[in-house]
Structure 1
Amino acid sequence: MKPNIFKLATKELSQDGFFTWLIQWADNTYIQHNQQLNETAKDFVRLLLDETSDYQIKKVEAGRQWNNIDIWAEVNDEYAIIIEDKTNTGEHSEQLERYKQIAKNHYKNKKHKLAFVYIKTGNESSSTLQEVKKKGYSTIDRKAILNVFNKREVSNDIYNDFKEYMTAIEEQTNSYTKFENIISDWKAGEGFFMKLQELISESTDWGYVSNPTGGFLGFWYHWNGIEECSIYIQIENSFDYGIKLMLKVSDWEPSTDLLYEILEEIEPFAKKNGISITKPDRYRAGATSTLAIVENAFTVDNEGNLELEKFIRTLKALEKTVDEYCDEINTSRNKSSM
């Protein structure tokens, strides 16, 4: 494979430059220079505006770093687009609210309709993306961008380098079907968690968690609890150190004695639901602590593919274990207090 500039220029500023350049190509002036690139740029602008394919684009201006806003664009003297562009980081420091207010103040006496867009070419939890939407931004992911890029062939080295770079990340993310990829490749690990978010109907979240041993990629959901603590499900992917499905506790007065007590009480519920749980090598009482690890949670077929349907059934059994245990403990305590 030939050298690709975007494998070297991985900073968000480089991506800002590409998207600004692409938006500028949507102006009618540039049809004569490269019609395919102009049409693709127009499709990309329509994606940003959530406009239909028959929306005519004639005049486009775009630039970078206006009042710290990553990318701005004006279309047909009708729309103003404010873009927050992200690779692998998330939004922070109330920047979305701040940029929105700057734009509203600037355009308050102008006729432009405002469009606020959050572009994310890396992977991000659907939970955090929902928070972005609540702030009045539409979200555009890598898959949506590639859908535009794959409509036609374009003869331009810069454009094709970026398209190839995005395609490689997408393929890497989707390689989670092979279990070995999940535990060896960060993007595949993220892809696995993104797939779980599609398959699990309740609220879930995932992200990087730092710790003294180098951190891990974590997925957590299904909170329940008893008087002494909250109990929830977590998947901890430490890559070189393996991946584990576990029960965690939080919102408690840390105590290893309590961990032993709960483990003894919850084990019969796990067994009834067809799963085997065991204590970690060592109990550590902290703000959050591992209560139990599910044995043989991840199975593969003869070709090394993760048996995803079986894993989902294991999650359902673990959810049921947590709920039945908490219901039993809380009900019995309520009765004894009456």
Structure 2
Amino acid sequence: MKPNIFDLATKELSQDAFLTWLLSYADPANAAYDSKLNQCAQQLVNELISTHVNNFDGIITTVRAGRQWNNVDVWVEVNNTYFIIIEDKTTTGQHSNQLTRYKEIATDWCLQNNYTSPVCVYIKTGNESLHSLRHVKEAGFSIYNRKHLVKLLNSHPEITNDIFTDFKQRLLRLEAENNQFLTKVLGDWGGVDWQGFFQYIEREMSIVAWNYVNNPAGGFWCAVLNWDYWNDLYPVYVQLEEGKLCFKISTDPEEPVEMPPNVSRGQIRNELHAMLMQKAKDNDVKNIRKPDRFGSGNYMTVAIVDKHNWLGSKDSIINPAEVINTLTLYRSFLKKAIQ
């Protein structure tokens, strides 16, 4: 494989630099250096502004771009009228209310400098759940993801600049890897495959969220399919822990859950387990079994379905439609069982 600088420079700062470099080419004066990059960069500026401004005429007269302004990753001034702030992410997500703070700072700057309201954009080249991205939108940021970037860069095949093509090729490879779960045997799945799979199911059946759980055992990718209440008190849900499908209950005070007096977590767990097993038997819902061991923490698994019974055997390739039907069945079973 041809050496690619972005396979070595994988940090967000490297991506910040690429975006700032490309956006700088949108200034008409820089067309003299590379008219093709100028056209691509102007298209990118247009697309970013259009996420917030419906009547932008697309005419670009001046562009200034830079990095690290008040902790904002990338900033762009366009036509002395529009101020774009970009929160740029690879694999991490937003944190510490940062997007709200950045928008407030940018809004104050725009008022002081007679600019329109800031154009706030969240650029994400890694994967992130729709649940997480909803919080981004609520903070006033539009989302420009890897698919948007791939489409933009692919629309300019005439560009031969090495920096540009290296970045594009890396994005294309990331996008291809994200979809390999459809053709890879289940025993070879890794983190990227679970991310691609969880993105697929959240589009097909609308789940609560998916994310990575870091724990002393090494961590795992998980997806929560529903969030319902048993006895109007305890959250119960189906959670995919990579290959294991778990029926779980929360007794976490932060949910919040108030434990009844003189009742232990173990008693609650055992009661739900017994009820689910009986309901599964009564309704001929197959392959639900007792966990190998019961826990007694805030979040407890009360029953499981083994990987080969809902996803497939390790030497098989996923049947997406069949898996969605199976997941829908188990989720519906839980909802009806706790009514």
TM-score, structure 2 length as denominator?
0.89
1:307–1:4 distance in 2 versus 1, CA, 3 Å: same
Q: How does 1:49-198 map to 2 (within 5 A)?
A: 49-50=49-50, 55-113=58-116, 114-153=118-157, 154-178=159-183, 180=185, 184-198=189-203
Aligned residue number for residue 255 of structure 2? none
Contact 1:36 1:155 in 2 (8 A): no
Superposition deviation, residue 171 in structure 1: 0.6
1:177–1:305 contact (8 Å) kept in structure 2: yes
5 Å-filtered alignment, 1:314-325, equals 314-325=326-337
2: CA distance, partners of 1:222 / 1:88: 25
Equivalence map 1:8-27=2 (5 Å): 8-27=8-27
Q: List, as ranges, runs of 4+ consecutive aligned residues in structure 1 with deviation greater than 6 Å.
A: 51-54
How far residue 273 of structure 1 moved from its aligned partner, in angstroms, is 5.3
The 3-state SS of whatever aligns with 1:275 is coil
Shift in Å at residue 183 of structure 1?
5.5
Shift of 1:210: 1.4
Tell me the distance in 1 between the aligned counterparts of 2:137 and 2:151.
Answer: 21
How far residue 152 of structure 1 moved from its aligned partner, in angstroms, is: 1.8
Distance in 2 (CA, whole Å) between partners of 1:313 and 1:150 is: 35
Distance in 2 (CA, whole Å) between partners of 1:182 and 1:139 is 34
- In structure 1, the residue matched to 2:227 is 223
Larger relative contact order (CA 8 Å, sep ≥ 6): 2
Determine if the alignment matches structure 1 residue 289 to structure 2 residue 300. yes
User: Counterpart of 1:44 in 2: which secondary structure?
Assistant: helix
**Residue of structure 1 aligned with 2:268, choices 258, 265, 278:** 258
Partner amino acid, structure 1, of 2:66: G
Distance in 2 (alpha carbons) for counterparts of 1:181 and 1:299: 7
Shift of 1:127: 0.6
**CA drift at 1:141:** 0.4
**Counterparts of 1:149 and 1:62, CA distance in 2:** 19
For 2:11 and 2:288, locate their aligned partners in 1 and report how far apart those are by CA, in whole Å. Answer: 43
SS in 2 for 1:222: coil
The separation in 1 between residues aligned to 2:328 and 2:186, in whole angstroms, is 24
3-state secondary structure, aligned to 1:278: coil
Of 303, 312, 321, the match for 2:324:
312
- Structure 1 unaligned runs (5+)? 238-242, 328-338
Question: Which residue does 1:326 correspond to in 2?
Answer: 338
CA distance in 2, matches of 1:123, 1:131: 15
Contact residue 176 and residue 182 of structure 1 kept, 8 A: no
TM-score (normalised: structure 1): 0.89
Change (3 A) 1:247 1:179: farther
The offset of 1:310, in angstroms, is: 1.2
What secondary structure is seen at the aligned counterpart in 1 of 2:32? coil
Call closer, same or farther: CA 1:313–1:270 in 2, change over 3 Å: farther
Deviation at 1:172, TM superposition (A): 0.6
Q: Which moved more, 1:81-90 or 1:316-325?
A: 316-325
Question: Sequence identity of aligned pairs in percent?
Answer: 38
- 1:187-211 per-residue CA deviation (whole Å, 9 max, x = no partner) reads 121011011110113x510111111
Q: Give the direction of change, closer, same or farther, for the CA distance of 1:316–1:144 in structure 2 (3 Å limit).
A: same
Paired positions, count = 320
Q: CA deviation at 1:255?
A: 3.1
Q: Deviation per CA, 1:17-46, whole angstroms, max 9, x where unpaired? A: 000000001111122222221111111111
Deviation at 1:132, TM superposition (A): 0.6
Alpha-carbon distance in structure 2 between the residues aligned to 1:143 and 1:40: 16
What displacement does 1:11 show? 1.0
